Chain A
Amino acid sequence: MMETALKATDINKYFHDPVTMPVLKNISFEVKKGEFISIVGKSGCGKSTLLYVLSTMDRDYEGLLEINGVQTTGRSLNDLARLRNESIGFVFQFHYLLPDFTCLKNVMIPALRLGKLTYKEVQEKAYEKLKMFGVEDQALKRADKLSGGQQQRVAIARALINDPTIIMGDEPTGNLDSKNTGIVFDLFQKLSKEFGQTIITVTHDEDFAHRSDRIIEMADGVITSHGN
Chain B
Amino acid sequence: MKINVNTEIAITYLSSRKKQTLIAAMGVMFGVSMFIFMQSLMKGTNDYFEKMSFNTTPHIRLYSENKVADTHLMTNYLKDSSVKILDNPKQLVQRQGIINPYGVINEIKKNPKVADITPQVTADVIYTSGSVQLNGTVAGVNITEENKMFDIQSNMLSGNLEDLNRVNQSILIGKGIADKLSLHTGDNITVTSGTGSPLVMRIIGVYASGVKQVDETKSYVNIPQAQNLLGKDRSYVTDIKINLKDYNDAPEVAQDMATITGYKAEDWVQANSQLKTAFKIRAMILNSVVGVILLVAGFGIYNILNMTIYEKIKEIAILKAEGFSGKAVTSIFLQQAIYIGLMGGIIGIFFGYLISYGFSRVYIGGSSPMGGALNYIPMSFYLPHYIEAIVFGILTTIAAGYFPARKASRVDPVTIIRG
Contacts and interface: CB of A to CB of B under 8 A. Distances in A.
B325 A109 contact: no
B418 A84 contact: no
Interface string B1-25: 1110100110011001000000000
Contacts of B315: 96, 98-99
Interface string A97-127: 0111100010001101111001100000000
Q: Which of A57, A58, A77, A170 has the most CB of B within 10 A?
A: A57
Nearest to B323: A85
Q: Which of A81, A101, A109 has the most CB of B within 10 A?
A: A81
B9, B16, B314, B417: residue with the most chain A Cβ atoms closer than 10 Å: B417
B320 A86 contact: no
A191 B227 CA distance: 111
Nearest to A142: B16
Interface residues of A, number: 31
A78 interface: yes
A90 B12 contact: no
A28 B317 CA distance: 28
B414 A96 contact: no
B322 A113 contact: yes
Contact of A110 (B8, B13, B323, B418): B323
B328 A90 contact: no
B54 interface: no
B322 A57 contact: no
Interface in A163-190: 170
A100 B418 contact: no
Interface in B305-323: 314-315, 317-323
A198 B284 CA distance: 67
Contact of B12 (A101, A118, A119): A101
B327 interface: yes
Contact of A96 (B1, B16, B314, B323): B314
B328 A113 contact: yes
Interface in B284-300: none
Interface centre among B319, B324, B325 (most CB of A within 10 A): B325
B418 A113 contact: no
Nearest to A162: B323
B413 interface: yes
A86 B324 CA distance: 11
Nearest to A161: B322
Contact of A78 (B8, B314, B319, B325): B325
Contacts of A48: 418
Interface in A67-108: 77-78, 81-86, 90, 92, 96, 98-101, 105
A84 B323 contact: yes
Interface of B: 1-3, 5, 8-9, 12-13, 16, 314-315, 317-328, 413-414, 417-418
| 9 A-B pairs with the lowest CB-CB distances in the bound complex, closest first | A85-B323, A112-B5, A100-B16, A81-B325, A96-B318, A84-B323, A110-B322, A78-B325, A58-B414
27 contacts: A48-B418, A52-B418, A55-B321, A57-B413, A58-B414, A78-B325, A81-B323, A84-B323, A85-B322, A85-B323, A90-B321, A96-B315, A96-B317, A98-B318, A98-B319, A99-B315, A100-B12, A100-B13, A101-B12, A105-B12, A109-B322, A112-B5, A112-B8, A113-B323, A113-B324, A114-B323, A158-B322
Interface of A: 48, 52, 55, 57-58, 77-78, 81-86, 90, 92, 96, 98-101, 105, 109-110, 112-115, 118-119, 158, 170
